[in-house]
Amino acid sequence: MNDCVLEARGVSVQYPGTLALSNVTYSLRRGQIGALIGENGAGKSTLVRVLAGITQPTSGQLVCDGSPLPQSGVEMAARLGIAIIHQELNLCPNLTIEENIFLGRERTRWGLIDHREQRRVTSQLLGRLNLAVDPSLRVGDLPLGQQQLVEIAKALAGNVRVLMMDEPTSALSAHEIVTLFRIVRELAASGVAIVYISHRLEELLEIADTVTVLRDGRLVAEAPASEVDVPWIVEQMTGRSAASSQAAGEVAVTEPILTVDGLTLFHPHGRALLRDVSLQVRSGEIVGLYGLMGAGRTELLESIMGLRAAAQGSIALGGKALDKLDTSERIAAGLAMVPEDRKTAALFPGHSVLSNLTISQVGALARRGWLSPTAEQVPGQQMCERLTVKTPGLNAPIDSLSGGNQQKVVLGRCLMTAPRALLLDEPTRGVDVGAKEELHEKIRQLAKEGAGVLVASSELDEIRALAHRVVVLSRGQVSGEFAHHAASDEALACAASANGAIQEVRT
């Protein structure tokens, strides 16, 4: 027990209609990397928020260095060296990297902020994470993966004794994950207690010393990571044996529903983000879009959706040109998109589950400018049932749902427009193994019903499980196209790192 830095003893958290945590006792030990696992809604994030002083427990207590804490709060947690990296980024996009890292703990000299010292420390932190960017850049101008690294640097800037990481690799490339793992192991070796949450189970077993599983707000299993495997974890999480993911097969040859020809996009400073990208998606087909960070996947989907006004090239849906249509007109034509970052680009925080679901159809549901509660409730309830959204009720705040259920709501909003082609950017980012398979099955069903689906993912397993065909991007260009049976890890990785020649395997 002398190694115990922080402990939650018999902690429960009760919300109206929901018991988020039930009598949980959980210990964090010096130099130990503890994996905290559970399905969406199991209570992982709630437990971490209690440990970080953000959420006050309904009952139970926190113990630090063997002494009960008379009260907990964010300021006390900071004084005790407790830091948290949230699943949803907690950055100010209008501030610079330097300003974000030192926000609320600015370094001063002669009563003024010492920007020179802050930039020096920021450069050291970024170098430690192999992130070669100027500390004076605005965070909002960075790709999501680099923002994730800034969030990590922000946590490392303090005198950390306990570091809790909630889905820290969800937006990182394979190379960046290797760097992060090095940092995590260095911190543990120096005595920092680490809580690591991820839905990438193989990743957890690689980095963790211990595994703790939550289910329905209760702690149901603990074991050394060396003594467990993925099927054991899945069974503890779900209460049922692991099921193998269904792999995609062949799809009937049909006419293209979505055609992209010669799409080119330049950054305002002149760098090419996309260069002469052409592809087709047939009705009933799921096309995987793979590439390393910065390859142009998100830029391509946003350009197709009309979110990048500077994009040039030809885009057609069902033979109808979309080039001159704005985003709302493209939605009306039958195009829909689930963005990569649901927090900033998809959700309406503080609003209800129902409002987040039906916002795309308010015009269609209203009669003579009036939206009746019944007109909104019925389709909203039907969509929740269709996608098995777990929620206390349609009027519950969207913020109260787990990440997986929030993602189902975003998908449901798109489906309410009855899209002919659906663009999905990292559709299962931050989603647990059970909810991931549910989402995969919904995507397959949409294709079976005739929709064309273009899905961008950084996870090879997901690409192989879903895609009938895979298009690979590298440095903004198509560098490979593979039939499902030819899309091996080696082939996709080689194409993703290519510098020119297109690799094509269709048979």
Q: How far apart are CA 120 and CA 141, in angstroms?
A: 21
Cα angle value 138/410/154 (rounded, 5°)? 30
Q: How far apart are CA 365 and CA 111, in angstroms?
A: 58
CB 230 within 8 A of CB 205: yes
Cα dihedral value 191, 196, 200, 204, nearest 10:
40
The residue-averaged pLDDT of 153-169 equals 86
Structure tokens at 58: 């309904």
Indicate the pairing of strand 469-474 with strand 218-224: unpaired
What pLDDT is attached to residue 501? 42
What's the chain's average pLDDT? 86
Residue with token string 């049909």: 254
pLDDT band at 240 (very low <50, low <70, confident <90, very high): low
Task: Report which of residues 26 and 433 the model is more confident about.
Answer: 26
Q: How far apart are CA 39 and CA 426, in angstroms?
A: 18
CB 64 within 8 A of CB 6: yes
Residue 76 confidence (pLDDT) above 90? no
Q: What is the CA radius of gyration of the chain?
A: 23
What pLDDT is attached to residue 444? 93
What pLDDT is attached to residue 39? 76
What pLDDT is attached to residue 376? 80
248-294 pLDDT, tens digit each: 555 666 789 999 999 999 987 677 889 999 999 999 999 999 987 67
The residue-averaged pLDDT of 129-141 equals 89
Ordered structural domains, the chain, with CATH: 4-238 (3.40.50.300), 256-505 (3.40.50.300)
pLDDT band at 499 (very low <50, low <70, confident <90, very high): low
357-412 pLDDT, tens digit each: 888 877 777 776 677 777 788 888 998 888 888 888 888 999 888 777 888 899 98
What pLDDT is attached to residue 506? 39
H-type helices in 248-399, by residue range?
Answer: 297-305, 327-333, 342-345, 353-358, 362-365, 373-386
What pLDDT is attached to residue 377? 85
421-460 pLDDT, tens digit each: 999 998 887 677 777 788 899 899 999 999 999 999 888 8
What pLDDT is attached to residue 1? 47
Indicate the pairing of strand 112-113 with strand 108-109: antiparallel
Name the strand (E) or helix (H) holding 46: helix 44-51
Least confident of 19-33, 146-160, 280-294: 146-160
What length is written for the chain? 507
Other Cβ atoms closer than 10 A to 13: 22
What pLDDT is attached to residue 473? 93
- Distances from the Cα of 43 to the Cα of 37, 40, 196, 239, 448, angstroms: 9, 8, 14, 16, 35
